[in-house]
Structure 1
Amino acid sequence: MKHIKKTICTALILVISLCAVPYQSASAASVAELQAKRKTLAASTENARKEIEGLKNKQLSAEEEMEAMDKVLNSIQAEMEAAEADLNFLTEKLTAAEAELAAATEKRDAQFVLLGDRMKFLQQKGSAGYLEILLDSENFSDLIMRMQYVNDIMGYDKAILDELQAAQNTIQAKTDEIAESHAEQETVVAIQQEKVNEMEEIVQEKQALIDSYKSDMKKYEQMIAANQKADEAVLAEIARQSGTSTVYYSGSGSFGWPVPAKAASSSSLSSGYVNRISPISGKAESHSGYDIPAPYGSAIVAAEAGKVTYSGWMNGYGYTIMIDHGNGLSTLYGHNSSLVAKKGQVVSRGQTVAKCGSTGWSTGNHCHFSVLKNGAYVNPEPYLGVKNVSY
């Protein structure tokens, strides 16, 4: 019997001495990686600024000066978009970490209650509780079976301890992760505000440059030529796409409104399809579409389904999108800060094709929206269902 008791005690010691498995949490993208990405974009912006400084001593055309200013604006815009993406990522990461923290805390509390109940039971029974089970064995086979039973019970107790420890480790890891995410969020928000200030500064510089052209006859003539080149480029593009056989618009119903950030109303227009005094040159001109002001970076969407026939820089219109809707009908979206749709891409009605800006010959963030029928500009009013204005 003593030999049996010694064997039992040895078995109990082996079970109790099992070690817990350490907890390890999966890490998301490191803060250092996010900072490195923004550092690369900041270097791009700085290079664009240096390029402008290098060009100041050269005799540039009005168009070259505008392109140089727009290059800096777009570099800053890229930094802002990267910061916004980082902020969205950090917000999602923070939300997930908070949910995991809540789940781990709930599990820890439940395991703690369960462990407390087990400890009360063991305190009442003492160490003899397990021995009584084993010493009541009727034979050796029964002893082996009872030893397995005791092992299972003790394994269960150990599992409670392990899960409690793992839950506590998770709580600590998620608490640290949440603190880190909050700190990084504050950093990204500060970067966004810095870029907004930089962008406003560049826009003011661009406005001052455009204003200076009004007293410089040579630059004024270049502005007129640039605008004429823009229209020539548009009409040439229309001529190239006139052989299309795909019809995306049947002519029934109105186009969708191209600037969701603003209401589809005449009151949203800063200029209509009219003969007007140019805000750039101060001279009379024929305005070929609707000007729809909107915040920088706002979505510009396709007014109707079609195929993108142009996506790039187009003289006075800056970054421009053109969409062929079939049956000789096209739309143009000018002065964008960045382009989303690519040439040759088929887009659906309401799909984002660009982001609002003030590139090209523009004095404020807006979308210049034109409708062309068989190679000629036409009034957008019957297509958009928004009444034209006289200014």
Structure 2
Amino acid sequence: MKIKQTALIVIIIPFLTLTVDGQSLEQYKTQYNQIQDSEETKRAMLEVNYDTQDELKQQISELDAQLSEATVNLDKIDESMMKVIIKINNAQEEYDDAAKKREEQYERASVRIRYIYENGDTDYLGVLLRSGNISDYLVERQYISDIMEYDSNLLHELEETEKFMKQKLDEITAGEEAKEALENFRTETELKMTVMHEEKNNLLEQYRQDADAMENDLSELVAASDKVYDIITNMEENIDFVNTYTGGKLEWPVEGRYYVSSDYCGRISPVGNGYEFHTGLDIPAPEGYDIEAAEGGVVTSAELIDGYGETIIINHGDGLSTLYGHISKMLVSEGDTVERGQVIALCGATGNATGNHLHFEVRVNGEHINPWEYLERKSE
């Protein structure tokens, strides 16, 4: 398998800490656009890294499946090997017993052959001539018949033992060949497993390296939240408007949709970024659902922000601002003055989102705070 290599480019952004002393709003916008361009590049790099991570995980998963299959095959090989060894041992034991039996049979046959050779064969005529009467003849003839039958059986048994020994010898030879084939197959399987283990270790190392690089990039992207602070504080210094916020509760930003799927608290990231602090409220709503300004003010930002997706920030004066993230369509632009309850955008799932919803934040002097301090809890 080919491991996809991803070059991680470190981008140094000298604009994250903005200073606006003596700068015009246009100069600030230029710097802001440069920041956005740099973050767009980093966002594209992260997308590539996410794809690489998925590919590496898939390759590791496939190797795990192959290793599991190979382990099962090794168990089957060992089981077959044990059966073959038992058959070989049994055949060898039967062969050894037959060899002992053959020696005994051969010894008995040798005695008989030697006796016949020394004393000659006996026919029935000779028996009749030696017999004193018919009764003696009949007895001797039966005796000779029994001897001849014994000799015939003895030779037959010896022949059968030889056949049996040849059969067992063939079984031993076949067993040894099967054992050798299983041993070769086992060796090949172990070599393949060694290669797969090495490849898996390489993939895991690549995964860890890429994961570390991604964590570094993600930690840099945390600066996106800090950048919002800079946007707000600096734009407040460069935009003059009449404060509209005079205290009290803010308007609920998604009329009729009061369920909160993720509160202002620590959580496990739904997009795989580990543990994080969720800096606002997630309010689910269908794509294209109206999003309203929680209070009147001036739009200080209406652009794409990493993580937040398409985002609007409204400055309400007196240090208070609200942020609206993951929107599908912006209906206002930077510098627009909006009224409380005015539809400013449509709900969506841009940026790091797992479904259509509004990510709503409340910030005071640029720092995010618990939105419930400015909102009234409602029920569906």
TM-score of the pair, normalised by structure 1: 0.43
TM-score of the pair, normalised by structure 2: 0.44
In our comparison, the structure showing a higher alpha carbon Rg is: 2
